[in-house]
Amino acid sequence: MKNNPASDSTDAAVTRRAALGLAAASVAAAVSAEDDKPSATVCNSESVKQAEWISGLQLTDEQCEATAIDLRQQQAKVQQLRAIPVDYDVLPALRFDPEMVEPGILERTSKCPAWLSSIAAMPAQSSLLRPEELSFLSVRMLGRLLRDKQVTAVELAQHCIAGLKQYGPTLKCVVTLTEELALQRAAVADKELAAGKDRGPLHGIPWGAKDLISVAGYPTTWGAPQFRDQITEKSATVVDKLQAAGAVLVAKLSLGALAMGDQWFGGQTRNPWNKEQGSSGSSAGSASAVAAGLVPFALGSETLGSIVSPTRRCGVAGLRPTFGRISRSGCMPLSWSMDKLGPIARHIDDCGTVFDVIHGSDFHDPTAVDRWFKWPMQINLSRLRIGQVDGVRLSEPDEVTLNVLKELGAQIVPVELPNEFPEWAIALMLDVESATVFHDLLAKNETEGWNTWPDTFRTAHFLSAVDYLQAARVRFQLMKAMVSVFEKVDLYIGGGDLGICNLTGHPTVVVPTLMLDDQEHPQPQCSTLTGRLHDEATLLAVAQLIEERVGMTSQHPTLSD
């Protein structure tokens, strides 16, 4: 039978009216229930008057009365929404797009920049080593030893697990050892390599995951006591990608509770260079374990400094990629518009090698995109414009970086970062988004061990949707201002841009450049390089030149139980 469009339209209209009628009745019932509550808990004209400061409006008595009636109806709708169960991995029907302000970005990010060219990976020299010397080798060197049959993947996994067991309790960097899984995957890697099946440079290499990254069958605790026993059936996309590349997960590593700082339910994660000092956060365990030589590389995450800060504290290399470069599916959400995953390692080459495996689009994370990347690459510095930020004190590590680049023939250009937009005020978007994620537990006052998050979350509940969207509009202007910056330079050094670039989505590389040994606890100091959206290859190639010149990868902390 042929459908009757008119009849279909009428039926649909009736259905919509019926649904609206039910919704209105439900709201009316809820409003009636609100009116039956004690006056102290009911929104009335007096409470509206007292709350004028939240709205930023000045209301007459009549307007207060009318607003109170509307707010009671609105609150009833809010209660309807809050009554609907929503899992932590459910995304909002909105997404942040850092590319929206740059004309021609899709064409630019679809091809190799003119100053980069392909280079074959330098063959690592292979030599028989004592077991303790394995701890601080690069991924490429470990891969050479594996392929030359001087060590097996099982032996590498056992070596890392032994180190994690020995030093993990002191550094408080390990949440869960994945020993059974590691030995199983390492045995598979050995068999595959022996049979000539080579999955690439990470095949057989041990690694650690920040414990907000889900691994099927193992706890993913988010650093908070409320989630100590949380076990998922599915691994995060990045875990699946690394497993497909043959990498061997040996541990879930600590993070500050709900990705704040370095304090978690197991204590404070320590800096291997100075165990009296925390490792900073929130990728605290990832940076600590890598610096201590317990794993060759780890994955961390950053919302507002959580890769850059601990890598600088612990003196290791790290890459905070462009927002949307790596899928976050299967990872704890904190801020849907700011969360990013990235590699932490002792060598820039290792960061590039890991990033090459884990970047790319994913159906389960609609912000994740495919853009050009290849590694390793060599760079022609003479074709680059490298910025030195005006108006910001040049740190000693950044000064070393600039001097090295000048010696190598780089063109240094003065540049100003936008200062007309209050980035820390815009960052209230993070407060609102994170408070939304953890609203249910906050409402029940189940916040033990959350560091200072409860205060932030409670305060965020008093910000209006208007405030959030106003921050988003100012954020858009900040993003446009950063497009202007990268019309003048291709990357810049330092600049105190942590807040700015986590809001705009720009990538940053951390590279150790200087050893401070005139203090009780000598430790490396790091420089940061920030580049264009999706231009991680340029950042890594420049950082590798710096790393090779300063020779900091030979510096290791002295460990003791």
Whole-number Å distance between alpha carbons of 482 and 421:
11
* Bridge partner list, 253: 174, 210
Is 210 annotated in the active site? yes
And the tokens for 170?
């002191």
- DSSP H helices, 195-303, are 237-244, 284-291
**Per annotation, catalytic residue among 172, 210, 241, 340:** 210
**Per annotation, catalytic residue among 306, 309, 327, 329:** 306
Query: What letter represents residue 195's amino acid?
Result: A
Closest to 302 measured CA to CA, from 252, 237, 255: 255
And the tokens for 352?
């590039």
Whole-number Å distance between alpha carbons of 56 and 58:
7
And the tokens for 429?
């978007």
Answer yes or no: are the C-beta atoms of 258 and 453 closer than 8 Å.
yes
Answer yes or no: are the C-beta atoms of 325 and 340 closer than 8 Å.
yes
Q: Checking DSSP bridges between strand 385-389 and strand 411-415, what pairing results, if any?
A: parallel
Name the 3-class secondary structure at 530.
strand
Instruction: Calculate the alpha carbon distances from 410 to 358, 424, 492, 510 in Å.
Output: 31, 33, 12, 19
Residue by residue, DSSP assigns 158-213 as HHHHHHHHHHHHHHT-EEEE-HHHHHHHHHHHHHHHHTT----TTTT-EEEEETTB
Helices (H) and strands (E) in the chain, counts: 20, 17
Is 32 annotated in the active site? no
Answer yes or no: are the C-beta atoms of 250 and 177 closer than 8 Å.
yes
Is 282 annotated in the active site? yes
Q: Where in 194-269 does DSSP place strands (E)?
A: 206-210, 248-253, 263-264, 267-268
Q: Where in 37-159 does DSSP place strands (E)?
A: 116-118
Q: Checking DSSP bridges between strand 297-302 and strand 206-210, what pairing results, if any?
A: parallel
User: What are the backbone dihedrals phi and psi of residue 315, each rounded to the nearest 5 degrees, phi first?
Assistant: 70, 45
**Per annotation, catalytic residue among 282, 283, 329, 527:** 282
Instruction: Calculate the alpha carbon distances from 340 to 190, 312, 411, 452 in Å.
Output: 32, 17, 31, 22
Whole-number Å distance between alpha carbons of 318 and 320:
7
Closest to 413 measured CA to CA, from 497, 492, 495: 492
Q: Checking DSSP bridges between strand 411-415 and strand 340-345, what pairing results, if any?
A: unpaired
CA 248 to chain centre: 21
Task: Match 């006591």 to its residue by tokens.
Answer: 225
Query: Which residue numbers are catalytic?
Result: 210, 282, 306
